[in-house]
Amino acid sequence: MKRTVNVTGEGRLNLPPDTVEFSLNINATDKNYDRAVEISAEKLERLAEAVKPLGFAKEDLKSSNYNIYPEYDSVRDPETGNYSNVFKGFRVNHSVMISFRFDKNLLSDMISAIASSVSEPDLHIAFTLKNREEAAKELLRLAVENAYEKAQVLAAAAGVKIDRVVYIDAAQNRSGFYSTTSMDNAAVGLCKMARGGSVEMAPQDVNLSETVRVIYEIG
């Protein structure tokens, strides 16, 4: 019967974010379906015009979600006291995303441009990594290296030697590729920020971790 040792290796990386992601929600409402869709399209066009001077094209605004649904107001009948739903209009929610390299000046210019846009989108700003595949590979390499170091310690303590790997598996519980630093502001709040000048900030590093389970045969 083969003798084995089981170990779990962990790889960790702390990397400064190099990419900014702007998630923007454009909302439009009208009692006429076609007009609601038209207003949403007009707002997207105005948003594209706002970021164009910064070197971005309309095609850089990638759609991530598009919904159209009816909205109703709950209205109370003064005579009976009963409530009924009264049609308010059609609501269009169009979510788009645009990403670019992290640069404080470009970040400030983007916030200012979007704040001044008549589209008035809701905004979420996140900080992430561009080359996630390379980071993922490095995490796995570090995790396997850590597993081998642990196995060597165990083998030495037990007076045996590591022969070969008989099983290896990634736990697939890798942490996300985003910094814990983020920004959430509606258009009014952004306007106030824009008047304050450059956004001086250093987002937290992106903290990554990965684990692997390795079984070594020992002799």
Identify the band that residue 67 occupies on the pLDDT scale cut at 50, 70 and 90: very high
What tokens does 174 get?
């890798």
**pLDDT above 70 for 7:** yes
**pLDDT above 60 for 207:** yes
**Residue 109 and residue 101: Cα distance in Å, rounded?**
13
Query: What's the average model confidence in pLDDT over 14-38?
Result: 95
Integer angstrom CA distances of residue 161 from 143, 150, 165, 172: 20, 13, 12, 29
The amino acid at residue 215 is: I
Question: How many angstroms separate the most distant Cα atoms in the chain?
Answer: 90
Write out the H or E segment, with its range, that includes residue 130. none
**Residue 63 and residue 47: Cα distance in Å, rounded?**
13
Query: What's the average model confidence in pLDDT over 178-192?
Result: 69
* 80-84, 130-134, 142-146: segment of lowest average pLDDT: 80-84
pLDDT, one tens digit per residue, over 152-181 is: 999 999 999 999 999 999 876 566 899 999
Per-residue pLDDT at 197: 57
Residue 22 has φ and ψ, to the nearest 5°, of -100, 115
- Average pLDDT over the chain, rounded to an integer: 89
CA angle in degrees (0–180, nearest 5) for 85-73-76: 65
User: Per the confidence metrics, is the pTM higher than 0.85?
Assistant: no
Domains annotated for the chain, with CATH where assigned, are: 1-17+131-180+198-219 (3.30.110.170), 19-128 (3.30.70.2970)
CA angle in degrees (0–180, nearest 5) for 208-104-123: 75
Torsion, Cα of 125, 190, 192, 91 (10° steps):
-150
Per-residue pLDDT at 83: 86
Per-residue pLDDT at 188: 43
**pLDDT above 80 for 1:** no
With CA atoms as reference, report the closest residue to 29 among 72, 58, 59.
72
**pLDDT above 50 for 38:** yes
Per-residue pLDDT at 176: 82
Contact 88, 71 (CB under 8 A): yes
Task: Report how far Cα 134 is from the mean position of its chain's Cα atoms.
Answer: 18
The amino acid at residue 5 is: V
Q: At what angle do helices 104-115 and 187-194 cross, to 10 degrees?
A: 130
Per-residue pLDDT at 108: 86
* 49-53, 72-76, 165-169, 195-199: segment of lowest average pLDDT: 195-199
Top-confidence residue, 176 or 194: 176
Identify the band that residue 43 occupies on the pLDDT scale cut at 50, 70 and 90: very high
pLDDT, one tens digit per residue, over 121-138 is: 888 999 999 999 999 999
What tokens does 48 get?
């594209």
